[in-house]
Structure formats: C-alpha cells, structure tokens
Amino acid sequence: MSMVSINPATGEQSGVFEEYDAAGVAEIIERVHQAWLGWKEASFEQRGERLMAVAQRLRTRSEELARIMALEMGKPITEARGEIEKCAWVCEYYAQQGPVMLAQQPMDSDASRSYVAYRPLGVVLAVMPWNFPFWQVFRFAAPALMAGNAALLKHSSNVPRCAMVIEELFVEAGFPSDVFRTLLIGSGGVDSVIEHPRVCAVTLTGSEPAGRKVAAKAGQMLKKTVLELGGSDPFIVTPGADLKQAAEVGARARCLNSGQSCIAAKRFIVFEQVYDRFLELFKKTMTQLVVGDPLDDATQIGPQARGDLREELHQQVQTSVNAGARLVLGGQVVEGKGFFYPPTILADVGPGMPAYDEELFGPVASVIRVADAEQAAAVANDTPFGLGGSVWDRDAKRGEALAVRIAAGAVFVNGMVKSDPRLPFGGVKASGYGRELSHYGILEFVNIQTVWIA
C-alpha cells in the first residue's frame, strides 16, 4: 500500500510514500520505547534545550515548510507561515514554562514529608488531522516531550510529506534518536498500535467517528485518551455589537484555513433587530475575499484539501437550500483544476437543515435569526458539539453574561476563537474531552504520583 500526496490546487499527484508494514511498525514502537527509557531521565534543562532547538529549526526552514503545507493540503501560504511561527512559539513556551509546571508540589499530610511528582507515562500515540498539519502535531509534541514522554505520530494519509519532515525536524534539533517517530500507516493500522503493550496513551484530533473508534479501542486496552473532535461554533451578534467589526472578523473566523477549522465560526446567530444590516455587511466582506493559488501571498482562501471533502460540503449546501435556506452568496462549485469552493452564505437557516444540524467544513456560513438573548443561548447550545463560541456586544459585561451560557470549551467576547499555548484548549459533548496547551495540557500525559515519606 502507498500514500499519495496530491496538490489540491491542481488535483495533480506530487509524491508517493510507501506505508509501513506490521513488522516495521512493531520495530519502530520498540525503538521508541527504548529511546524513552533514556529520555525520561533527561533533565528539564536538557529537554528544554532540545525544544528551543526545534523552534530555531522551524524558523530557519519556515518558507520551505510553509510551501510544503500549501502544496500538500492547500493552506494559503501566509497562513502557513503563521502556523510555523506558532509551532516555534509552543516549543519555546513549554521549554520555558515546563519546569515550573512539572515541579514537585509539597502536600500536607500525616507524613514527615509528602509531595506530588509528575512522572512521564511512556510512549504516547498521536493521531493527527490534515487541516493544521504542523500545529496539531506540535501542540501535542511540545508538552509531551517536555514531560519526558516519547512520541509516535500517525498523521493523516493525505499529508505524508508533512509527517516525514516533522520527524526530520526533531532529528535536526538533536533529539535522541527515536524519541519522536512518524508511522506511515492508514487508519486501519491504528488499532494494532493502540493494542501494543509499549504504547501507554493516545491523543486524537479529528472527526467524531474517528474519536469514537479510538476511544473505544483505548478504553478496551485501559489506556488514557485525549480527544479534540469536531465543532460547530456559534458566533452571536447582539444589537449592541459593532456590526462592521463583527462582519469583518466573522468572515475571517469562518474562512480561516479555507474554512477547514474545528474552531471556525460556523453558525452566525444574529438578533433580528440587526439581522438584515449584519447580513449586508457580512456579504460585502465575504465577497471581497480572494480565492486562488495558495502559493500566492494575495490568496485568502485556497482549495479544499480533497475532492471528496468539497463534494460533501456542496451536498450539504444544496440540501440546506432545498430545505428552505436562502443562498445569499456562492454555493457553486468552482470550475477548473483543483478543489476550490467559493465563500458562501446561507441565510434563514433552521433546524432540519445540514447547515444547522451538521458541521460544515469549508467556507460556508450559516446565518440564523433569533429574537433575544434567551433564544440565542438556546440555539448556540442546540448542537451535539461544544468546542468554542463567541459573542459580540460593545457592552463586555453583557457579552460575558451571554458567553458563559454557551456549553463549550472556550468562549470569547468580541474576539475570534483561537488556540494559544497559554490557554487550555478542548471541548465538551461530541467535541471530545481532555485539554491541550497551558499547564492543563502538559498534565494530561503524566503520572501524578503521590510520594509519602515517614
């Protein structure tokens, strides 16, 4: 079997990578475990030095790495550069803050001395998606490695080049051999890796079905999991909002990464007093977005990552229109090479439409009319997902009062939902469980050990 790298801007094949066979995978897992036995004894200073070296390599190779992303999954080059910089930042953050986060914590007890220590678990498997092919990996790897774990990466099958160059970066930065390894395997090979006795935990970012499958297998094997799954984030526009700002940020929040983001604003919940005016401003901003070659600095929206994903998105749009949604903008497959889809707005969206009930993974905005704050909160929570959400109101206290009613892992007032190494990231309900980033993220894959001394 082989993995094919396809340029989504042209539909042309750009590389073929052979999948690893079962024997090769087993050998790599054993090598990673042996490497961990040494790495877990490294000091915080030694681990931090290596992470700082990775940050330096990321910046040195930034343009090359950004280009790989653009060619392999279609990310606009300006966003790809930003993604590489963010990866360098998370490495530096954990190199600097990890020793504080993992320091022994004295505890009061009946002992002469007692404390909590944070010990590494061992080999952690990361099953990662294609949409942020570097950031998703590094936001797992930086804290896991800083905590003294070793890492196995099973990346999405359509970004094998990204997967291999990430492994290369850790080698270049002087990490001990085999502390971080990539497994070129398909999704069918994940269960056997989870079953391997040397693998102690699993983290997955991806779809809800993939999360359920991985969680079931890990649960069967009694192994820790962290899941970051889909999202259908509400973007609530109140009568007190700065409508121009909300429309401009809303377009960016919906179309970041060509709309292919779990924390993208997807359901625009707008109070009826400002519905028509917001829709007018929103359409104007969305119309101005530049769709084109992801290697062009002027491009704001590149292609969808795969042809099948574009077709699924278009089917959701068509079904929603047939069910009564009003097509305000876009909604037509772009003719020609590549898997492009235009910025699209669906208005008057309601229950029973895919644009209301499902996650739309592309540059398609669903606009929903509500009467008041009570209905806005109800609609915001009328979803199986709970990843992020935002509220727009010039009165920050009033915005906060509405935001905290949203059942989500993160709520933002007058700002676009985003991930930040300093803040915990994750969801509730069908968006998964556990947290990445901040000190909460680094503690997910450690043994929180009580030490009691008489």
Indicate which residues carry an active-site annotation: 228, 262
DSSP 436: B
Residue 335's φ and ψ, nearest 5 degrees, are -75, 155
